[in-house]
Chain A
């Protein structure tokens, strides 16, 4: 029988080495706690690794990631790279971290920072992602910007026609994701402007239902896209993409402001894939399993207010960043700091009880 001494109560394990995981680790480490990061990939960074530049100011994603990694290194935070955690087992007040049949770590407190998954755009069948090579997701387009994949049209196409579809796999009950992913609107605007910068002669369209420009300076970006970049915004969700003439795609939408169907031939169609959960928690009395999400799965459920970090029904288990729902990087960083504070308070409360 393993005793509770077997676990160092003050040790914090962070699952996920994306922006949320790194920032939570940095704040806790700065406040004197011993933290470790378990990351399934061989590298830190999460989704940020795949982005080219960030809204609203166009900061290079690699600069931000570089700065974060540097701090993690400087603080000598132990990293367990290539280490997937698939369930947790409660031992005394603390946790064991498991991958399959093996214990990969132990900690008094676990912080989930597993982030989000990109909606599988193939499920939105009518857009033909995976079938037509000129249909990309927003993440694919970032890879194009990063020169990791080619443009889907040839160099002979100086004035490409390009469409962005908002809300792909968001606000869509048929896909099991009723929520708004909240940052794809501004991502579309950011990407539309970037594409115009690459191809000044391009004609760029955004197909939207509402433009949810919630962040500071996002709305300004939208106006700039219209006035300075000539991006055309069409209110209406895309209904269908099909092969058009030559290598082009033929798309259909309703221009809902004019009340008329609309047809367009495009050289590239970019789907603003939404953010969906990476896994669902299957909570048992003394264990938590990370299971493949199913149709309609929600994000990690937390107690109390929206920004709270402690996972419903589990003492000593916290959640940080986009695993709780769509979030931008500034939000993720603020959240990570707040969660770190909650963790600190929790650990202190345990000490207080022990003293009493």
Chain B
């Protein structure tokens, strides 16, 4: 029998599943730059970000997405960083943001 066309379909569940263990590549980033753990999502870094004015880069969001295992998005967004270091000057928790961003940017496979 041919597949019926219902005229609608189901949407995937967009809930985050936290029960899965941290991906090894996420763990590697956290180990290489432990100060990422200190981020408290205050947003100071994002408000001054040179790239954030034009692109979806907001460092603290990348941290949240990293914890959630969304390495693709993190890798892509990290590409927007210009390494100017403005964020790091404002961070009240002393997160080494530039190094973190370099590590995050490396999550994307290099272009062939």
| Complex A–B touching at CB under 8 A | yes
Contact surface of A with B, Cβ cutoff 8 Å: 161, 205, 222-223, 226-227, 230, 232-233, 235, 252, 255, 257-258, 260-265
Contact surface of B with A, Cβ cutoff 8 Å: 14-19, 34-35, 37-38, 40-41, 61, 64-65, 67-68, 93
Are A230 and B15 within 8 A (Cβ)? no
Are A263 and B19 within 8 A (Cβ)? yes
| Closest chain A CB from B19 CB (angstroms) | 4
B19 interface neighbour in A226, A232, A265, Cβ under 8 Å: A265
Chain B neighbourhood of A205, CB < 8 A: 18
CB pairs A–B below 8 angstroms (23 shown): A205-B18, A222-B40, A223-B38, A223-B40, A226-B38, A227-B37, A230-B37, A257-B61, A258-B16, A258-B61, A258-B64, A258-B65, A260-B14, A260-B16, A261-B14, A261-B15, A262-B16, A262-B18, A263-B15, A263-B17, A263-B19, A264-B18, A264-B19
Chain B neighbourhood of A263, CB < 8 A: 15-19
Chain B neighbourhood of A252, CB < 8 A: 15
Chain B neighbourhood of A260, CB < 8 A: 14-16
Are A255 and B37 within 8 A (Cβ)? no
| Closest chain A CB from B42 CB (angstroms) | 11
Chain A neighbourhood of B16, CB < 8 A: 255, 258, 260-263
How many Å lie between the Cα of A67 and that of B40 in the bound state? 38
How many Å lie between the Cα of A232 and that of B41 in the bound state? 12
How many Å lie between the Cα of A232 and that of B14 in the bound state? 21
Nearest residue, chain B, Cβ from A248: B19
How many Å lie between the Cα of A321 and that of B34 in the bound state? 41
How many Å lie between the Cα of A257 and that of B64 in the bound state? 8
* Given A223-B38, A227-B37: A255 touches B64 (CB 8 Å cut-off): yes
How many Å lie between the Cα of A58 and that of B14 in the bound state? 41
| Closest chain A CB from B33 CB (angstroms) | 12
How many Å lie between the Cα of A69 and that of B17 in the bound state? 49
Are A227 and B34 within 8 A (Cβ)? yes
| Closest chain A CB from B37 CB (angstroms) | 5
| Closest chain A CB from B20 CB (angstroms) | 10
Are A257 and B41 within 8 A (Cβ)? yes
| Closest chain A CB from B49 CB (angstroms) | 17
| Closest chain B CB from A29 CB (angstroms) | 46
Are A232 and B67 within 8 A (Cβ)? yes
| Closest chain B CB from A104 CB (angstroms) | 52
Chain B neighbourhood of A222, CB < 8 A: 40
Chain A neighbourhood of B93, CB < 8 A: 223
| Closest chain B CB from A45 CB (angstroms) | 36
Chain A neighbourhood of B17, CB < 8 A: 262-264
Nearest residue, chain A, Cβ from B35: A227
For the complex of A and B, the 6 pairs showing the least CB-CB separation, nearest first, are: A261-B15, A265-B19, A264-B18, A262-B16, A227-B37, A227-B38
Chain A neighbourhood of B41, CB < 8 A: 235, 257
How many Å lie between the Cα of A240 and that of B37 in the bound state? 27
Nearest residue, chain A, Cβ from B93: A223
Chain B neighbourhood of A255, CB < 8 A: 16, 64, 68
How many Å lie between the Cα of A233 and that of B19 in the bound state? 15
How many Å lie between the Cα of A131 and that of B33 in the bound state? 42
Chain A neighbourhood of B18, CB < 8 A: 205, 262-264
Are A262 and B67 within 8 A (Cβ)? no
15 extra interface residue pairs, beta carbon distance < 8 Å, beyond A227-B37, A232-B67, A263-B16: A161-B19, A223-B40, A226-B40, A227-B35, A230-B37, A255-B16, A257-B61, A260-B15, A260-B16, A261-B15, A262-B16, A262-B18, A264-B18, A264-B19, A265-B19
| Closest chain B CB from A213 CB (angstroms) | 11
Chain A neighbourhood of B14, CB < 8 A: 260-261
Chain A neighbourhood of B34, CB < 8 A: 227
Nearest residue, chain B, Cβ from A234: B18
Chain B neighbourhood of A227, CB < 8 A: 34-35, 37-38
| Closest chain B CB from A134 CB (angstroms) | 15
Chain A neighbourhood of B64, CB < 8 A: 255, 257-258
